[in-house]
Amino acid sequence: MKKLAIFMIASLLLTGAGCTYKKSVSLNNVIDDLETDDSQEQIIDDAQLDSDSDGLTDAYETDISHTDPFDSDTDDDGYSDGQEVEAGYDPTAKAGTVIEEDVTLEGDGLTVHVDEMTTTVNCGQDTTCFDEKFATCELAMMTVNMGNWAAMSYEITGLATNGCAVTTIYTINPNPAWVNQPMYCIVDNSKDFETAMQETLNSAINTEGICTGPLNDIMHAN
């Protein structure tokens, strides 16, 4: 995925962009602590109890998802059990992570040195699973983090006409106006993800209407 990282770095410098994604999960059934005395008994609905505050009740985790009701991230892959269940992923299967140190990215006349680049996918322990999911437009998420200055994420959300629906979000960006603003694109899945995404993002930056969403609107505001 280095070429994709190169392209995104270039877009950062040229247009003020950057990107990673973490889906937020609303916490349901928050139980207020009540002051009790001898004459008042605190009643808690056990069916709604969420001991680890991951958005899943203890009963759901024990009986349905088979996750640890006292550990918000059962498989320790950086995504909470609630996030993975909401997105349709297996909360008991650890995500794959590749960490590369002292990476030099070169392309399009641009050379950038990154002390550490971390790529994480939630579809398996091998990051190549993301390309496999992309070929059939199955749900999958990939995040690329290049330190404190740039982080990006891509989420395949399903099948669309002429390709896969992919959401791109920047969570770390030199321009704060671009942070956490999603962009929705249809990406040609007849090609590998890296090639197809580069072509789509290049078109989106230069031509309005290729993608939609808040980030796309910001890109073409001026």
Largest Cα–Cα separation, the chain? 76
pLDDT (tens digit per residue) in 31-69: 344 344 444 444 556 778 988 998 899 888 888 888 898
- Give the number of other Cβ atoms within 10 Å of residue 186's Cβ: 16
- Cα angle 129, 132, 134 (rounded to 5 degrees) comes to 110
Domain extent for 157? 2-23+98-219
Residue 162 within any structural domain of the chain: yes
Burial environment of residue 25 by CB neighbours within 10 A (0 to 12, 13 to 18, 19 or more): buried
pTM, to two decimals: 0.62
Instruction: Give the confidence band of 8 by pLDDT, cuts at 50, 70, 90.
Output: low
- Least confident range of 40-44, 127-131, 211-215: 40-44
Query: pLDDT (tens digit, 9 = 90+) per residue, 179-194?
Result: 999 999 999 999 999 8
pLDDT attached to residue 76: 75
Using 50, 70 and 90 to split pLDDT, how confident is the model at 110? low
Q: Is residue 200 part of a domain?
A: yes
Asked if residue 133 belongs to a domain, the reply is yes
What is the distance in angstroms between the CA of the first residue and the CA of the last residue of the chain?
31
For residue 106, is it within any domain?
yes
Q: Using CA atoms, how far apart are residues 205 and 178, in angstroms rounded to an integer?
A: 13
Structure tokens at 51: 């001991």
pLDDT tens digit sequence for 194-204? 899 989 988 88
Least confident of 27-31, 121-125, 173-177, 207-211: 27-31
Per-residue pLDDT band at 169 (split at 50, 70, 90)? very high
Residue 164 lies in a domain: yes
Average pLDDT, integer, range 121-140: 89
pLDDT at residue 95, rounded to an integer: 64
In a domain, 45, yes or no: no
Instruction: Tell me whether residue 36 is in a domain.
Output: no
Q: Does residue 68 lie in a domain region?
A: no
- How many domains does one find in the chain? 1
